[in-house]
Every structure is written in structure tokens, then in C-alpha cells.
Amino acid sequence: MKLYMSGNSPYGRRARVAAREGGLMDRIEEVFIKSFDDLLVLGPGGKIPILVTDTGVSLCESLIITRYFDDLSGGKLLPRDPQEKLACVALESVACVLMDSMFVRSMEKNQRDQALRSEAVLTRESKRAQRCYDVLEQAVARNDAVMREGAAITLASIAVISSLGYANWRHPEDEWRTDRPQLAACYDRLMLRESFSETAPVF
């Protein structure tokens, strides 16, 4: 299989970490995309990441790819217990909202001409991100089974760390660590894992 991505994409990072934690790296070649045109050859969306399976099927959207990796791993990336699985998916959904919100804000700040930027969009998405940080802090503070120390790595913890790493790179002004000591400690602890450290954004 070939996993197409860019180096600092948080969406690509989710797939990369899932592949490592699922024990699939001996079956995957990571390919770094050089241009948008290269993406369009692989699929209509033009989004990072794209997985081309060993049978030639092209999958886009990080959520779909990570679910596929979970299937290939025999279910290593989601809890077996139904209630824990639901809690995992709920937390993953918050991290997904955070990642998407930050991406919108990043595009507004970095890709749109300054004269055309919408302060309303920037403010709305900044507030959305802060709400998500607070929910993640609460999940860690209550010793959520998905995020507690010693818990298995899941698609939720992968999405959370990938989102926070993106925040460090693109939105340091969020200061997400401020008044969120439990989340900060959890991030620092998980960043010691090889799968997270070797896929961290470079900036």
C-alpha cells in the first residue's frame, strides 16, 4: 500500500500514527506529495492523505483511512468494550472538530489575502477551538479510560495528539496549555512514544 501525504499535515499524521500503532508499517510505503496536481491524479478530492491499497483502491479522508487501518490491525485501535468504544469515538469526534476548525482558521490566515480575511470566521473558529480544548482537558482530568496513563493507544488519542501538535505549529496564540495542566501532561507523556515523536510537525 502507498500512503500519500505532506510532512506537517495533521490529517496525514493521524494516518501515519495509526499505521504505526496498528503494526502495519511493513505493508505501507509513505509517499510525500510535492504538488496539488499529484493529488488530483490519485483522487478527486485533492486532500491529504490518500491511501492506495495493494489492490489499487484509492481511499481519501483520514477518518476512513484510520478505520481501514483498524480493520487491518484486527481492531487494535478501538476498544472492544461497547461503552469504552463509544467514549473513544466521542472523544475522537471532538478532536476531529478541533482539527477541522484549526484548518479553517489556518487557511483564512495563511492562504487568503489579508484584505479579504474574515475576522468573524477567525473569531468563531478560535472560540470553537477553545471549547474543544476545554472538553479534552475535562476528559483527561476525570481519568477517562481512553486517555488515562497506561491506556492502549486508540484512534481517539491519535486524533487528540495530532490536533494538539497542529495547534502548536499553526496556532501557538491559542496557548492551549494555559489552565489545562492535565491535557498538557497527557500530551507530553504520549509524545514520548515513537509513533508520535517521529511524525511530529517540524517548525
Task: State the average pLDDT over residues 74-90.
Answer: 95
Residue 40 confidence (pLDDT) above 90:
no
Provide φ and ψ at 147, rounded to 5°: -110, -5
pLDDT band at 93; cut points 50, 70, 90: very high
Q: Note every long-range contact of 7-10, with CB atoms under 8 Å and residues 24 or more positions apart, other chains counting.
A: 7/32, 7/201, 7/202, 8/169, 8/201, 8/202, 8/203, 9/48, 9/49, 10/99, 10/102, 10/103, 10/162, 10/163, 10/165, 10/166, 10/201
Q: What is the pLDDT of residues 116-136, one digit of tens each?
A: 889 999 999 999 999 999 999
Residue 94's pLDDT is what? 98
* Domain boundaries, given as residue ranges, for the chain: 2-72, 82-196
Domain 2-72, second-level architecture = 3-Layer(aba) Sandwich (3.40)
Residue 72 confidence (pLDDT) above 90:
yes
pLDDT band at 145; cut points 50, 70, 90: confident
82-196: in CATH 1.20.1050.10 = yes
